[in-house]
Structure 1
Amino acid sequence: MVIFKSRQPPIDLPTELTDWDWLFDSSYSPINNYPPSQLAGFQNAITKERVNWAEIKQYSTYIATALVKRYGLREGQTISLFSQNTVWYPVAMFAGLRAGAAISGASPAYNAEEMTFALKTADAKFLMTTPGSMEVASKSAEAAGLPKSNVFLLEGKLDGYTTIKELIEIGRSYGESGQSPAFNIPPGKKNKDVCAFLSFSSGTTGLPKAVMISHQNVIAQCLQIQQITPETQKKIMAVLPLFHITGLVHQMHLPILLNAEVIMLPQFTMEGMLNVICEYKLSELLLVPPILIRLVHDPIVDKYDLGHITRFSSGAAPLSEEIIQLLQKKFPNTGFKQGYGMTESCSCITAHPPEKFDYKYAHSGGAIVASTEVKILKEDGTEGDIGEQGEVLARGPQVVMGYLNNPNATRETFDSDGWLHTGDQGMVDSENMIYITDRIKELIKVKGIGVAPAELEDLLLGHSHVEDVAVMGIQDDYSGELPKAFVKLKNGIEQDTAVGRELIAFVQEKKVRHKWVREVEFIGEIPKSASGKILRRVLREKERSGEGRGVVVKDENRAKL
């Protein structure tokens, strides 16, 4: 049996601690290792509002008490966070964890239909949001059966809604001796057995699935990444969305363990990000390929002195050879690292250790992280050796519990021996570095967020003009990939621009922005196997060669963004 093992020393993984206890009330906590004046925290890059780790411990205690004693929150219930990046997002998150709740993050770009689905799937009993998202939040809460009293504001004020700062005062009013006790792992269980987070992941079929992430998963991943993080990493820019697995681990948990200041951008703009990078003299930037692409192409970048940057960190989607070369040329005194993983592995299976920060390793997804094993499963069912390609399987303490209330999908992805079947094709070289060569799963990665073709296919098949459809990803300079629909129209429907625009608008009305179809191509027949499966490789070849191209209609509005 060929199993590739990590060359890092094993992590010392606590199995009895909850996420909250680990970060705020244990020997691992910076609160117990640094004087109060040296504690880092979360701060808003624009307003400068800031909360340090000790304040988060106090505020999360008060909020947990208010939710338990005033609003009836019980262990095991779910709190949904539906918000742009704000310092109060992690405060609310840790409050829920302290009370024994599970936290479900949702994209602030969701429409009411998608948010309702997220609330119902997670069986959320409480919802926390911001004024800018309240229109969608209130509609979806009503549709999911949440009373208005269980919808809270993370920041700002709106008539009829309780704010997080009011929750703090409610909790404080019970006095120090009246605070509800912190949740403990139940007797007979370990922290790997208790779900702490529900993170939505687009599987290869149907609607997004709720991934169950345990307390152990997040603790393990932080300890794994701490091992390979330079001690100089003391300032972290949080420009990536907090609901994403990267935001959850690398922007809200790992920095506390490192006692590193987190500078949060509420919303992304290129100019805003560059201003923050310069103001705070940030040396390492955790970004995704679409932002890195803009860094090398956008002329606005040349107006800024970015000589203090020492390293780029990338993840969520592959970065092309062209962009890697341009990045090194534009920023010659920098290094590069990235991680390979997914929501189902609580972020990284592999990541670059410091000795591999050179650009010559930039094409790799990194080395296997501590306490983790990787196996390569070839097409013939045998296990691949060094340099041999096959599906990447991973096993380790960061591999998640499974999918909520979806045993079939859980069995398909996580086998009985604990191996996560990633659906990605790759190989491991002699230096224990992984290279991802293809995606067996058909997920489209739009700005690092997975979009399932089947979800868009199901939607388009519901349109009165559509007989059959196949969706796949096409390359895009800024988003990495965007969805394209190959459509077979019903008899009598004209293959013209008006119909194509109607289909594009139909998707835009029903789906969140990153799922919008970039273009529609009309086709005589959708290529399928004998068993009826769409032959996407045939469509990829058709797209690559341009041969036999039908009428193509593009979303011209999106092209101008």
Structure 2
Amino acid sequence: MTNTAQSSNLPVDEVDTTPQALRRAARLWPDGEAVADVQSGEDVRWTWTELAEQVRTFAAALIEAGLQPGERVLVWAPNTRHWVVAGLGIQYAGGVLVPANTRYTGAEALELIERTNAPVAVVAGDFLGAERISQLTEAAGGSLNGTPLKVVVRVPLGGTETATSDVINEWDSFLDTATDASLQAAERRADAVGACDVADILFTSGTTGKSKGVVALHKQTLAGSRAWGSNGELDASDRYLVLNPFFHTFGYKAGFLVCTLFGARIVPLAVYKPVEAMRLVESEKITVLPGAPTIFSTLLDAPERADFDLSSLRLAVTGAAIVPVVLVERMQSDLGLDTVVTAYGLTECSGFVTTCRPEDSDETVANTCGRAFEGMEVRIDESGEVLARGAMVMAGYLDDPENTAKTIDTDGWLHTGDVGELDSQGNLRITDRLKDMYISGGFNVYPAEIEQTLARLRGVTDSAVIGIADERLGEVGKAFIQRSTDEEGKALTPDAVAEFLIDKLAGFKRPREIEIVDALPRNAMGKVVKPELRGR
């Protein structure tokens, strides 16, 4: 058990649980601004002391609701202060955080709840025109009572909840359930959290079509956040605009957790729009702005850019796609950034494998993913596959020892599925993918999942999905559908296929182009030859 005072005095390189990180932040920067949630007409600001109290109260309410150490809690909500409180509060109470993509359908979110047997879910209210609890309820057949859920906490984002269930709690009402006894219990739970306890389970689509739950321990999650913040030279004077989603490692482990370790202000943004992002950069004097290359392209090309003062920006971190040298140069010259770095990671390593350093040249930043993060090793095997080993490598896949053993070999090397090269300085360049995965708008998309979904559509004999170039998103999906020769096949149209997928897959997974074909190209073994499709 870790004593509260001792954990507050830990140097950053010895912090290995999120409760330790939060307590340390409240002690080191008690009056420093931790969160500035200034979107949708709100202006809510908390110091690190106030954030810690919010987290402690949320943890106490979870304990009052019956959450046991090690139990999982789903968070299905956009970037707001509520997500930060919920995420840290779950772990403070000894629970395991299970983030869900905000673009998921109700059915996809329900699947995560069932696979993790989560008794609690924190769910957005009305967001992007949809009431998420209603979607969840509909996916469950009209009632949540038959699911593992005992408690649903509704994040207040507008709208009126229409689902009728005694498991649904409004945010403020839920916090009000905390008692003196449960607040004391929350502190004991936080004391008991250890470095080798599970911190989170992030789901990533698998090449078999079924998503895989990546299990990370507290020490693995914190090792990545610490290395990321150290490389970016963050400190308590920084103000960090977190527009990368909290459900992703980029917004969570390279986002608000980094701020918690280094004292930087967390400025969340729920929905990215160039003008809103620039408004926040100006009003909050933002210094740190990570994001996919598309984010910076849209900022640079925004006609309103000259109307905003963006001179406070000092650091940008980008990746997840090819970064042209000219983009790096424009980010420095037109946005006034002192430092631009690129990085490479995957969920199985908490998002951290390699990164460029602030002193690297523009060509190195644009053409490579940099060198291994502190605590990580990278090598290329005889087949050209990138292997990673070190402090950030996951504990394994949830309830899947077979795939865990295939991914992490007996020497501890994680097989990434990417093909790459290392230069003489150790900089990594990704040259290809062993798998068919493509990246759309910063999100990994696995064709096998889409193809398995298409197989359920009557009239489809077979299908093949590939990634094709897209100016805005980097890549989008294109589906080739081999239709059956019966009447249903003859009646099949691209519009019918698109309509079928609407409530089956999240928007970023749904193919943007659909082509009906009489036959797919195959090799002698009968396997679809996707390179031929890519060459069309």
Normalised by the shorter chain, which TM-score bucket?
0.7 to 0.9
Distance apart, 1:184 and its partner CA: 5.0
Distance apart, 1:54 and its partner CA: 1.8
Q: Which residue of 2 aligns with 1:18?
A: 17
Do 2:124 and 2:133's aligned partners in 1 also have CA atoms closer than 8 Å? yes
Q: Which amino acid aligns with 1:182?
A: R
1:255-294 to structure 2, matched below 5 A, reads 255-294=259-298
Distance apart, 1:266 and its partner CA: 2.3
How has the CA–CA distance of structure 1 residues 493 and 487 changed in structure 2, closer, same or farther, with 3 Å as cutoff?
farther
Distance apart, 1:364 and its partner CA: 1.2
Distance apart, 1:148 and its partner CA: 7.2
Do 2:322 and 2:366's aligned partners in 1 also have CA atoms closer than 8 Å? no
Do 1:240 and 1:246's aligned partners in 2 also have CA atoms closer than 8 Å? yes
Query: How many Å separate the matches in 2 of 1:59 and 1:515?
Result: 35
Structure 2 residue matching 1:468: 3-state secondary structure:
strand
Q: Which residue of 1 aligns with 2:365?
A: 361
Q: Deviations over 1:146-202 (max 9, x none)?
A: 47750112336867642333333321454865656124558xxx623x211111111
Query: How many Å separate the matches in 2 of 1:257 and 1:340?
Result: 21
Q: Which of 153, 156, 173 pairs up with 1:166?
A: 173
Is 1:309 the counterpart of 2:313 in the alignment?
yes
1:211-360 to structure 2, matched below 5 A, reads 211-231=214-234, 234-320=238-324, 323-324=327-328, 327=331, 330-331=334-335, 334-356=338-360, 358=362, 360=364
Distance apart, 1:445 and its partner CA: 0.9
Q: Which of 380, 391, 398 pairs up with 2:392?
A: 398
Q: Which moved more, 1:118-127 or 1:169-178?
A: 169-178
Q: Which residue of 1 aligns with 2:112?
A: 118
Do 1:255 and 1:262's aligned partners in 2 also have CA atoms closer than 8 Å? yes
Gaps of 5+ in 1: 1-10, 380-389, 543-561
Q: Which residue of 2 aligns with 1:155?
A: 156
Distance apart, 1:452 and its partner CA: 1.1
Distance apart, 1:498 and its partner CA: 7.1
Do 2:205 and 2:212's aligned partners in 1 also have CA atoms closer than 8 Å? yes
Structure 2 residue matching 1:509: 3-state secondary structure:
coil
Q: Which moved more, 1:329-338 or 1:346-355?
A: 329-338
How has the CA–CA distance of structure 1 residues 271 and 80 changed in structure 2, closer, same or farther, with 3 Å as cutoff?
same
Q: Which residue of 1 aligns with 2:48?
A: 53
Is 1:521 the counterpart of 2:515 in the alignment?
yes
Q: Which residue of 2 aligns with 1:387?
A: none
Q: Which residue of 2 aligns with 1:452?
A: 446
Q: Which residue of 2 aligns with 1:384?
A: none
Structure 1 residue matching 2:223: 3-state secondary structure:
helix
How has the CA–CA distance of structure 1 residues 90 and 12 changed in structure 2, closer, same or farther, with 3 Å as cutoff?
closer
Do 1:473 and 1:483's aligned partners in 2 also have CA atoms closer than 8 Å? yes
Query: How many Å separate the matches in 2 of 1:80 and 1:231?
Result: 30
Do 1:313 and 1:337's aligned partners in 2 also have CA atoms closer than 8 Å? yes
Structure 2 residue matching 1:504: 3-state secondary structure:
helix
Q: Which of 466, 473, 477 pairs up with 1:479?
A: 473
1:399-418 to structure 2, matched below 5 A, reads 399-418=393-412
Q: Which residue of 2 aligns with 1:66?
A: 61
Query: How many Å separate the matches in 1 of 2:145 and 2:511?
Result: 28
Is 1:44 the counterpart of 2:44 in the alignment?
no
Q: Deviations over 1:25-68 (max 9, x none)?
A: 3xxx222323x223533533441112332222222222222222
Structure 1 residue matching 2:420: 3-state secondary structure:
strand
Q: Which moved more, 1:422-431 or 1:293-302?
A: 293-302
Query: How many Å separate the matches in 2 of 1:327 and 1:145?
Result: 51
Q: Which amino acid aligns with 1:210?
A: G
Do 1:336 and 1:359's aligned partners in 2 also have CA atoms closer than 8 Å? no
CA RMSD, Structure 1 to Structure 2 (Å): 2.8
Q: Which of 457, 465, 470 pairs up with 2:464?
A: 470
Q: Deviations over 1:236-280 (max 9, x none)?
A: 001111101111112220011110001111222222112112222
Distance apart, 1:143 and its partner CA: 5.5
Q: Deviations over 1:184-227 (max 9, x none)?
A: 558xxx623x2111111112221211111111111111221232
Higher RCO (C-alpha under 8 Å, 6+ residues apart) = 1
Q: Which moved more, 1:170-179 or 1:369-378?
A: 170-179
Q: Which amino acid aligns with 1:462?
A: R
Q: Which of 192, 208, 215 pairs up with 1:205?
A: 208
Query: How many Å separate the matches in 1 of 2:31 and 2:333?
Result: 40
Do 1:198 and 1:213's aligned partners in 2 also have CA atoms closer than 8 Å? yes
Gaps of 5+ in 2: 1-10, 127-131
Distance apart, 1:513 and its partner CA: 0.9
Distance apart, 1:307 and its partner CA: 4.0
Q: Which moved more, 1:405-414 or 1:177-186?
A: 177-186
Structure 2 residue matching 1:462: 3-state secondary structure:
coil
How has the CA–CA distance of structure 1 residues 282 and 145 changed in structure 2, closer, same or farther, with 3 Å as cutoff?
same
Q: Which residue of 2 aligns with 1:105?
A: 99
What's the % identity of the aligned pairs?
26
Do 2:99 and 2:202's aligned partners in 1 also have CA atoms closer than 8 Å? yes
Distance apart, 1:113 and its partner CA: 1.2
Do 1:44 and 1:87's aligned partners in 2 also have CA atoms closer than 8 Å? no
Do 1:112 and 1:136's aligned partners in 2 also have CA atoms closer than 8 Å? yes
Distance apart, 1:120 and its partner CA: 1.0
Q: Which amino acid aligns with 2:271?
A: Q
Query: How many Å separate the matches in 2 of 1:510 and 1:288?
Result: 26
Q: Which amino acid aligns with 1:486?
A: F
Do 2:493 and 2:516's aligned partners in 1 also have CA atoms closer than 8 Å? no
Q: Which moved more, 1:431-440 or 1:76-85?
A: 431-440
Query: How many Å separate the matches in 2 of 1:397 and 1:73?
Result: 29
4+ aligned runs moved over 6 Å, structure 1: 493-498
Q: Which amino acid aligns with 2:201?
A: L
1:119-134 to structure 2, matched below 5 A, reads 119-132=113-126, 133-134=132-133
Q: Which residue of 2 aligns with 1:136?
A: 135
Q: Which residue of 1 aligns with 2:6?
A: none
How has the CA–CA distance of structure 1 residues 476 and 95 changed in structure 2, closer, same or farther, with 3 Å as cutoff?
same
- Number of aligned pairs? 511
Structure 2 residue matching 1:348: 3-state secondary structure:
coil
Distance apart, 1:408 and its partner CA: 1.9
Query: How many Å separate the matches in 2 of 1:464 and 1:176?
Result: 55
Query: How many Å separate the matches in 2 of 1:483 and 1:251?
Result: 28
Q: Which amino acid aligns with 1:478?
A: R
Query: How many Å separate the matches in 2 of 1:248 and 1:500?
Result: 37
